Amino acid sequence: MFIALNDKKEYIRATDANKTQRFICPGCREKVVLKNGDIKQKHFAHFKQSACATFSENETPQHLAGKLQLAIYLQQYGDVKIEAVIPEISQRPDLLMQRGKRQIAVEYQCSPISKQRLEERNNGYLSQNIKVIWILGDNYLAKKMTQGTILKFLANNELVFYTLSTEKFIHRSSFTKCDFESVRYIESTNSNLFETGKTIGKPKIDVEKQVYKLQNLILQSRVDEKLVNYLYKNNRVLLHAPIWIHKGCQFGLMIPNWQWRLLVILLLERIGTGHVVHQDILICKLSPYVIGEARFKKQQLLIMLEELEQSHFILQREQYILVQKLPAWYESVQQKLYKVRE
């Protein structure tokens, strides 16, 4: 192994150590010896009788190196243990940090992990009042992540990556998803794990382009037939829907923004102008279309309600919503595009 604890209980790399010091294993706390052979690079080794399993043979070099680098970085904030066992939940985080009275588990994730397994680990830490921080490795940074994968690891509206080559943290935040486009986000690189991500306003949307893209979907019969038939029975045409449906860029939806926003309009129409509804009714109707855990879903729904109020479609008073006015439908696509170009 390439890292150990010195006499001062500080993490030290083998390349920076010398044989005049004494060292112990960060995991089992047994004595280790510094070796510097002609063939193998400088490293620490257990004595032959040791049964330490802290550094697994199945562990990838990337994961091991990242875990050790993070241990060295985090020791400035408190006592850090590598793969310390939490017996109450039979879990062993990559790093367990004692910061004042608070314990923090740090997981350096390089390989794929299922949503179910991740939730099991998170729930285990939660049961012991241990905060958990998931840091993603280079493999995740290099690939194009789906909304579902992003939401698995999203915490405080940001993702954190750690790169081995630069020993820097990459923070991604302010995720948005316009229809027919990739996920957008703000990215910053620094040496601080605990720096919060930046926030930005709503991105500019080319509404005319959105209308034409939706028109192509309809021509290709790639729009929900039930929705098209429902509109037809109510003497409505999808492309004549209010311009407002094309202005969405909300992240974390199971359906396109235009479809979600159309459902919102149809719900408001059903309630009717001048009528009042409890906030929970709208949230209950719309939440199945949002991915993620309950807190994220509610956050996204409250953003939607705020936008409706800013557009003067609704008025919110405590937990109740008054429908003030409804957005206009158009007689033709040409009339709609003329309005867009004004």
DSSP assignment of 280-329 equals: HHHHHHHGGGB-S-HHHHHHHHHHHHHHHHHTTSEEEETTEEEE---PPP
Q: Cβ(104)–Cβ(130) under 8 Å?
A: yes
Q: Residue 58: what pLDDT?
A: 62
pLDDT exceeds cutoff 60 at 181: yes
Per-residue pLDDT at 37: 67
Residue 319, Cβ density class (10 Å: 0-12 exposed, 13-18 middle, ≥19 buried): exposed
Contacts of 9 (CB under 8 A, 6+ apart): 79
| Predicted confidence (pLDDT) at residue 253 exceeds the cutoff of 70 | yes
Q: Kindly state the percentage of the chain with pLDDT values over 90.
A: 73
| Separation CA 67–CA 16 (nearest Å) | 17
What angle (nearest 5°) sits at the alpha carbon of residue 281, between those of residues 278 and 285?
A: 155
3-state secondary structure of 15: helix
Residue pair 62/110 in contact (Cβ under 8 Å)? The answer is yes
- Could you tell me which of 48, 68, 72, 51 has the C-alpha nearest to residue 59? 68
Sign of the C-alpha dihedral computed for residues 299, 283, 224 and 232 taken in this order: negative
SS3 337: helix
Give yes or no for a contact between 265 and 327, defined as CB atoms under 8 angstroms apart.
yes
- Whether the pLDDT of residue 278 is over 90: the answer is yes
pLDDT in the model for residue 41: 72
Contact residues for 215 (Cβ-Cβ < 8 A; gap 6+): 239, 333
Residues 321 and 314: their CA atoms lie apart, in Å, by: 6
* pLDDT tens per residue across span 103-113: 999 999 999 99
Closest by CA to 313, choosing from 281, 278, 267, is 267
Confidence of residue 20 (pLDDT cuts 50, 70, 90): confident
Rounded CA gap, 73 and 61, in Å? Answer: 18
Does the pLDDT at position 126 exceed 60? yes
Q: How confident is the model at residue 311 (pLDDT cuts 50, 70, 90)?
A: very high
Contact 333, 214 (CB under 8 A): no
The pLDDT tens digits for 29-59 are: 888 888 876 656 788 888 877 767 665 556 7
Can you tell me the distance from the alpha carbon of 191 to that of 299, in angstroms, rounded to the nearest whole number?
A: 29
Q: Which spans in 222-256 are helix H?
A: 225-233
